[in-house]
Amino acid sequence: MRKIVLLAGGVLGLVSAASAVASDFSCRLRFEMKGWSAIYKTATGTGTVTCSDGSTMKVSLESKGFGLTAGKSSIDEGRGAITGARTIDDVPGSYVAADASAGAGKSVAAAVLTKGEVSLALSGKGRGWDAGVALSDFTIKR
């Protein structure tokens, strides 16, 4: 009986250690995007995902949405923090966000998007002009 208790304790310890390692996993996204909007909103770009385990992935980005929007803009120094992923393979996919924006000239923007358990917090410096409210889909592809 004592061996079973020790074995169970050891297994629980391993599960606990694995959970701690998984929760320490995070990724960062560096990107550039350009786009326009006139009711329909679209933007495309490229970037690199780098994770805490040393893995990296070049990605293409696409954002599409509908709403009351108008403008033309670019993001030159985009950054993203990705949480909830277990491996870099969890990062690609479609994220959803609702956003409101207004800006002219140089601007700074931020958004939080979600794809199930994986969340993506974006920020960036850009230029252009835009105004409106939209429901957007942000897709990361390998």
Q: What is the pLDDT of residues 69-93, one digit of tens each?
A: 677 888 888 999 999 999 999 999 9
Per-residue pLDDT of 6-54, as tens digits, reads 333 343 343 333 334 446 899 999 999 999 887 778 889 999 999 999 9
Quick one: pLDDT at residue 16?
A: 36
Domains defined along the chain, listed by start? 26-141 (2.40.128)
pLDDT (0 to 100) of residue 104: 57
Rounded Cα distance between 55 and 35, Å, is 29
| Averaged pLDDT of the chain | 78
> Is there a contact between 103 and 84 (Cβ–Cβ < 8 Å)?
no
Q: Which residues 6+ apart lie within 8 Å of 80 measured at CB?
A: 28, 29, 30, 31, 47, 120, 121, 122, 123
Beta strand extents in the chain (DSSP E only):
27-51, 56-83, 93-115, 118-141
8-state DSSP, 116: T
